Chains A and B, each alone.
Chain A
Amino acid sequence: MSMKFTKDHEWISVEGDTATIGITNYAQEQLGDVVFVEIPDAGKQVDQGDDTAVVESVKAASEIFAPISGEVTEGNAVLEDAPAIINSDAEGDGWIFKMTVSDASQLDELMDADAYKSHLAELE
């Protein structure tokens, strides 16, 4: 499926039973250079909206919320040594964690690319 977005500027992309989550390109621009990422451990159970990861930039430390409920299956360990990937490729190699989808209907509440684009336009 194509990407979905939250109003907290996370993206989620689901393939089969696994969802991949990261922050949007807009979010990385706002944060500035990312200097540290705290990725969650595999096996962590999270509910929709739970603090799941932390992205720290030169400007601020931001919590990353789980866009849906499920179990974390993998954190992107590459980010621990190379947090700059979030700045160079936020919506690709800069993914932060993968998780299972326990309730697919939660995805319906999220924004598609067009809705997210108009959400950003409102923030300008």
Chain B
Amino acid sequence: MADTHETITGNRGLQLEESLIFEQSSEGRLGVDLAEPPHVENRLGGLEREGPIGLPDLSEPQTVRHYTRISQNNYGIDSGFYPLGSCTMKHNPRLNEKVARLPGFASLHPLQPVSTTQGALELIDACAHWLKVICGMPAVAMSPAAGAQGELCGMMAIRAALEDRGDVRKRVLVPESAHGTNPATAAACGYAVDTIPANERGRVDFDAFVAKLDTDVAGIMLTNPNTCGLFETDIIKIADAIHDAGGFFYCDGANLNAIMGRVRPGDLGVDCMHINLHKTFSTPHGGGGPGAGPVVLSEALADYAPLPFVTHGEDGFDLVEHKTGKAAKAFGRLKGFHGQMGMFIRSLAFMMSHGGDGIRQASADAVLNANYLLAELKDTLSPSFDGPCMHEALFDDSFLKDTDVSTLDFAKAMIDEGFHPMTMYFPLVVHGALLMEPTESESKETLDQYIDALKGLTAKAKAGDAAYFHDAPRLTPRRRLDETSAARNPILRWRPPVDEAEAAE
């Protein structure tokens, strides 16, 4: 089939085949006409460059077309549905971007005197206030740069509090479905990781958890809703049990999007929780944009929050930068400056433009959308657990049994249908997992099209057309990638071809 569409140029209609910029170089071709540099005495002391710098020579229109063409190969949340589970790929409101680009915010420097940055400090304070109210927690550390650093911040606060009372403990309990960063964080903080199994409902096995509790347990790291998209129904009992054992409760707030405006982590007995501003409150995610991972803290941990932080000073807002006064117990500094200012601006814009009622509706819509997928697909795909889900729907690969189609093949075929695939093979507790998170941004029409595509593909797989899946994707600029060779023999950079004449010399 595909062969009948071969073209002379390699272009496919207006989807243009683009070579590497280095391969387009033509020696001496220039984008600008610069004046000859004046002759100056060489003062580099023998350190001058020996050969050409190796940048490609292109004209300006060539360069513009190159970057335009490769940008057209991008697929992002602005192009279409991106149901990557656990990632919360929601729409990024343009208002947030506009506000973040205001020169009064965008041109600030963190070392400016605080008398000249009162507006920025007020914004950090206001953002902190919203986070504390949403979470029902008395304090928040704003500086952590991302979710994983937020985890580190929370666990360092727990360690500082334990050491402060002379109670050094050795173990941290982590459920087996946790994000990999949880055990990594506990280990980075010097704790041994003790895994808690899940029950058949996909939640923490409470009895197994209690059996592991003793005076050596520093805390538990629990994600709620968890990575199977399920609310941890025993969470208050878990919080009480860990507190009775003298430990602390770290909640991974990666999935706050499912409960914001409805459940306050503070009411669940949480001692600290990081918030992924960059997924919960929009802002770029998944494309390499900066993250931000503020950590809300309970009364028991508030004194150990890292430096610096914003306070209401005698003369307006002020920054606490040293371990003195009310910061005497701060565990230290995690980051050079005050946090990801650009993310604070965008998330405050998100929170204020939605308002309390809008935030409450966003979490409801996110959960409704995921349950719509689950309800429409439960007889076609194989749901991993019974009952409704929270913000993401999890399926295993048993619906593909005996079809010779794997989760990977199925996901590749979705690309031809115009969708970014869902998360595959995570969480690890489910065989051949397919994890879908529609978020609140998607319309019913988008979800219906996606459901139709999944139903059609499943029918095709069950009809025995495994070859179709093994060859997918067919309509992309590049076909199925050879992941094995790419991992075993990666080619990480372009190298100039060896000139045959030169090689012969």
Taking beta carbons and an 8 Å cutoff, which residues of A are in contact with B?
Answer: 33, 35-36, 56, 58-60, 83-84
Contact = CB atoms under 8 A, between A and B. Distances in A.
A33 B428 contact: no
B425 A36 contact: no
A32 to B, nearest CB: 8
Contact of B483 (A33, A36, A60): A33
B72 interface: no
B484 interface: yes
Nearest to A124: B401
B429 to A, nearest CB: 12
B487 A58 contact: yes
A36 B428 contact: no
- For chain B, which range describes its interface: under 10, 10 to 19, 20 to 34, or 35 or more residues? under 10
Contact of B425 (A33, A35, A59): A59
**Chain A interface helix/strand/loop/mixed:** loop
A36 B487 CA distance: 8
A119 to B, nearest CB: 15
Among B408, B425, B428, B487, find the residue whose CB has the most chain A CB atoms closer than 10 A: B487
A8 B408 CA distance: 23
Nearest to A62: B428
B487 A60 contact: no
Contacts of A36: 487-488
Nearest to A33: B484
A83 B488 contact: yes
A60 B425 contact: yes
A56 B483 CA distance: 13
11 contacts: A33-B483, A33-B484, A35-B487, A58-B483, A58-B484, A58-B487, A59-B408, A59-B425, A60-B428, A83-B488, A84-B488
A56 B487 CA distance: 10
Nearest to B489: A35
A59 B487 CA distance: 11
A35 B484 contact: yes
Contacts of B484: 33, 35, 58
Interface in B446-495: 483-484, 487-488
Contacts of A84: 488
Contacts of B483: 33, 58
A56 B484 CA distance: 11
Nearest to B180: A61
A35 B428 CA distance: 19
**Which of A35, A56, A60 counts the most B-chain CB atoms under 10 A from its CB?**
A35
Interface string B392-433: 000000000000000010000000000000000100100000
Contacts of A58: 483-484, 487
Contacts of B428: 60
A58 B483 CA distance: 7
Interface in B114-131: none
Nearest to B490: A35
B385 to A, nearest CB: 18
B227 to A, nearest CB: 15
Contacts of A33: 483-484, 487
Contacts of B487: 33, 35-36, 56, 58
Nearest to A36: B487
A28 B487 CA distance: 17
Contacts of B425: 59-60
A15 B119 CA distance: 74
A59 B425 CA distance: 7
Nearest to B401: A124
Contacts of A35: 484, 487-488
Nearest to A123: B431
Nearest to B428: A60
Nearest to A56: B487
A33 B488 CA distance: 10
Contacts of B408: 59
Q: Which 8 A-B pairs rank lowest in CB-CB distance, beginning with the nearest? A: A35-B487, A33-B484, A58-B483, A35-B488, A59-B425, A58-B484, A58-B487, A35-B484
A62 B483 CA distance: 18
A67 B484 CA distance: 29
Contacts of B488: 35-36, 83-84
Interface in B313-352: none
A24 B349 CA distance: 54
B492 to A, nearest CB: 15
A60 B408 CA distance: 13
B205 to A, nearest CB: 17
A83 B487 CA distance: 11
A122 B483 CA distance: 31
A76 to B, nearest CB: 17
A62 to B, nearest CB: 9
Identify which of B408, B428, B484 gathers the most chain A CB atoms within 10 Å of its CB.
Answer: B484
Nearest to B484: A33
A36 B484 CA distance: 10
A60 B425 CA distance: 8
Nearest to A61: B180
A83 B488 CA distance: 9
A32 B251 CA distance: 34
B322 to A, nearest CB: 41
A84 B487 CA distance: 12
A59 B408 CA distance: 9
Given A36-B487, A36-B488, A58-B487, 15 more contacts: A33-B483, A33-B484, A33-B487, A35-B484, A35-B487, A35-B488, A56-B487, A58-B483, A58-B484, A59-B408, A59-B425, A60-B425, A60-B428, A83-B488, A84-B488
Nearest to B406: A32
B171 to A, nearest CB: 15
